[in-house]
Chains A and B, each alone.
Chain A
């Protein structure tokens, strides 16, 4: 009976307002590839951070055992020394050094107690190691010049160089081309032969079916299902990923949809630092007045990039935008706002608010023209405008003069929405507007969205929570791998049908 190489038992991690992991367990045997799958927000990255030492052991409850022995990690280095190799999702290398140095930076001298580095020895050692691991890289190659797939391989090699017993791969195929994906699978299979326990995090059904020996499904921070390869059933797996009781009451709306307000054709957004790679490819969709359209899909599919480029923040390599039937040119946020588009962002810390300012100032900054008397800002108009949206959003604070950083997350998000609405847009892009917010505030935000639609605005709603999307939206555009995977009407949209489109892979894995 094969012993488990790594076991996580009853891991519970709580953040203010949410339980990210609720008694989550998983165990992987040596020579096994286990898939870890789940929707956005299911708790996958949390459990990984507990396993690889990013969350110190005293910040969560539960046990972690390696080869039967309990371990406690204070930081990622300790996890590494204990035999856990972790390959992050985003490429993170030392671009100015070569392959050999990237792999062996933690041990440039091969264990010898010397201050000198012998390049020839290092290259030879790296070459032998790479051959063993079946990874095709030149030890002396300049890492900056490597392709993305090669850099991903480099990160895997780096993790392997520490001789891990366990290898965690966090959504490794996100930036890879089809041929890179096949190379990756080859390497992973050879590692399995060598007896490593491999945890392969993904949300792509094809990869699960193709590569993994077993599967743990997570949902809402809990274990939701476990499958051995023989029992794989795609429908059942998807249902485990999304099945839940509706604990939130969604407000109803009388739907009055008008004519087409906004249309985009052939939208493509290039990758910021990878040549010939696109974050968004040839996307077309439209929104009508009074309509709430969902941009559904998994994290990393390109939904945020679509709205960011339509708002003029990200550069697009192609794309025609039509508002009220007229083509418009939008290359920067001012142009977008001039054409009546507003954007509520996902990351309110980075893009959302000025934290040392008051609520009032944050709300009114989006359209200073509204609150001016002559060339000056009118204090009275500012207060009036801010109060209007402050009340409409039902922000819970002592007054609009309060500083934004003293508010709870939900209320901060309301201020972000208020800021966007202050510019009186006709078209509103909402990117994960209820992320990280408690139930009560969510309900209020749903009311606000309904009000927007009632007023005849056109709303694009991005969310990773399917129930929320399904309750609020009239039409569904599903994005996968930067392309439109399909469109569904309200009647056609079920959680199954949306997920099936969202997990569509355009790259071949076999």
Chain B
């Protein structure tokens, strides 16, 4: 009778730890931090760390939504321009249409959910690849934002400075309300992923959608929920952007899906789906923002940053694929 003699679980070999995106990015990052601190002692100050943490909320909220979608095995290229369009709607509702704060807020959230719903419809009902769908909705969102604003920047102060001032508050430890909102979302997300049925189901769908169907999981519904939640995150990001700049414009947000993807991948959300935690995403977002900050202090201009981030994405995915190949080889050896 065939028996498996080696019953050690295969998830923790040394090589795999080395190759995990967290470690393989963390080590170079620490080196970069060291270099930056050497060059610019202002970097490792409390003040700067607070700046980093306050500024990561925009990419952070997008990363939450993006990672949920990636966990299911899809992607959302429209989440960046989602925040553009929802931000524009928010500004327009407040300033041009004179709706009150709450109605504007609700409208904005509705728009974000709607965009997520459109993505969900074309991906799950029409069965089109999510890359193509969200590429199309990405351009449609930014196009709509431009149509609405006609290039004008909407000054929120014409409604009130209250929102802007709210975002400037530092209730605790030098951190802002948006940060705590983001952190709260991370905590909620982590609890959901780890401890609730929907979290289990998301991972099941990403790992093996066919098996998930037979587990009794409604796969299209789970995927749609993630995509619509991503839409909601886009709206939250849009609102936070508007609060931060005290303006609503079509010029902000496009391209932000990219750092969202990077943060998710660095944070251990496998690009093939099925794995990942919100704490990992938090780590990924912190690493991303730190990296950006380092590069800025080192004098790297925006474009060089983009180049480096592109290389990091490719590296992170390469490492992820490599890890997959190693562990499946190990699995096959053990299961014989």
Contacts and interface: CB of A to CB of B under 8 A. Distances in A.
Q: Direct contact between A and B in the complex (CB less than 8 angstroms)?
A: yes
Interface of A: 16-17, 311, 313, 332-334, 336-337, 343, 345, 350-358, 361, 365-369, 372, 375-377, 396-398, 401-403, 405-411, 419, 423, 438-441
B150 interface: no
A18 B112 CA distance: 56
A407 B201 CA distance: 23
Nearest to B194: A377
A354 B207 contact: yes
B2 A354 contact: no
Contacts of A407: 4, 335
14 contacts: A17-B2, A333-B215, A333-B216, A351-B213, A356-B11, A372-B197, A376-B195, A376-B196, A397-B7, A406-B6, A406-B9, A408-B335, A419-B215, A423-B216
A436 to B, nearest CB: 11
A377 B216 contact: no
B218 interface: yes
Contacts of A333: 213-216
A381 to B, nearest CB: 12
Contacts of A336: 216
Interface in B187-233: 191, 195-197, 200-201, 203-204, 207-208, 210-218
A375 B200 contact: no
B200 A406 contact: no
Contact of A406 (B203, B214, B335): B335
Contacts of A441: 1
Interface of B: 1-4, 6-11, 191, 195-197, 200-201, 203-204, 207-208, 210-218, 274-275, 331, 334-336
A406 B336 contact: no
B7 A398 contact: yes
A337 B216 contact: yes
B10 A313 contact: no
The 7 closest A-B pairs by CB, nearest first: A368-B197, A376-B195, A337-B216, A403-B9, A354-B207, A440-B1, A398-B7
Name the residue among A313, A398, A406, A439 with the largest chain B CB count within 10 angstroms. Answer: A406
Contacts of B331: 355, 405-406
A288 B11 CA distance: 45
A332 B218 CA distance: 8
A313 B196 contact: no
A367 B204 CA distance: 13
B317 to A, nearest CB: 18
Contact of A366 (B1, B2, B216, B334): B216
B214 A377 contact: no
A439 B8 CA distance: 25
Contacts of B210: 350-351
Contacts of B201: 365, 368
Contact of B1 (A351, A376, A439): A439
Interface centre among B7, B204, B211, B334 (most CB of A within 10 A): B211
Given A351-B213, A354-B207, 7 more contacts: A313-B213, A332-B218, A352-B211, A368-B201, A369-B197, A376-B191, A405-B335
B6 A16 contact: no
A119 B88 CA distance: 57
B214 A343 contact: yes
A402 B7 contact: yes
Contacts of B217: 334, 365
A361 B275 CA distance: 14
Nearest to A411: B4
Nearest to A396: B3
Given A376-B195, A377-B197, A402-B9, A351 B216 contact: no
B321 to A, nearest CB: 15
Contact of A375 (B2, B196, B274, B335): B196
Contacts of B207: 354-357
Contacts of B200: 361, 365, 368, 377
Contacts of A405: 10, 331, 334-335
Q: Which of A332, A337, A358, A405 has the most CB of B within 10 A?
A: A405
A409 B218 CA distance: 27
Contacts of B191: 376
A396 B191 CA distance: 32
B275 to A, nearest CB: 8
Contacts of A334: 216-218
A350 B211 contact: yes
Given A351-B214, A353-B211, A406 B196 contact: no
* Candidate in B4, B195, B201, B214 with the most chain A CB atoms within 10 angstroms: B214
B218 A351 contact: no
A499 to B, nearest CB: 30
Contact of A377 (B2, B10, B195, B203): B195
A365 B204 contact: yes
Contacts of B196: 375-377
Nearest to B215: A365
B335 A438 contact: no
Contacts of B274: 354, 356
Nearest to A337: B216
Given A361-B200, A375-B196, A354 B208 contact: yes
A16 B211 contact: no
A363 to B, nearest CB: 11
